[in-house]
Amino acid sequence: MNAKQFYYRTKLLRTVSATETSPRAFRLLHEKINAETDEPIGFNTLRRFFGLLPGALPSRKTWRILEHYLHKERQSFESSHMSYIQEWQPYLAALGVVGTLSL
């Protein structure tokens, strides 16, 4: 396993609030990826990516789907973070804390 694959494994697990592989984490991850990307990914493909099934290195298609999913997850996080800041901006201004929060 290379560093890129390890990094992606960690990031993917974090999107389902997991720190290690489990059947529940894989089920949630599989459902989220298929729901949020235009291209579905196979359950066994995920298991191979995480090293739980023997197989070759991940294909370009697998990398593309996972990159797309993580990009969407990041956009979703930034959007919710920004709306949180905008919602609290008047209260923070009254407390003199404006400008300390950012993306």
Domain count, the chain: 1
The first and second tokens of residue 98, run together, are 């404006």
- Domain extent for 9: 3-95
Q: What is the pLDDT of residues 22-38, one digit of tens each?
A: 989 999 999 999 998 88
pTM of the model: 0.68
The first and second tokens of residue 55, run together, are 């197989």
Q: Is 53 exposed, middle or buried (0-12, 13-18, 19+ CB in 10 A)?
A: exposed
Q: Compute CA 82 distance to the chain's CA centroid, rounded to the nearest angstrom.
A: 18
Q: What is the pLDDT of residues 59-102, one digit of tens each?
A: 999 999 999 999 888 766 555 556 666 676 777 777 776 555 55
Residues 6+ apart with CB under 8 A from 20: 13
Residue positions counted in the chain = 103
User: Does residue 24 lie within any of the structural domains?
Assistant: yes
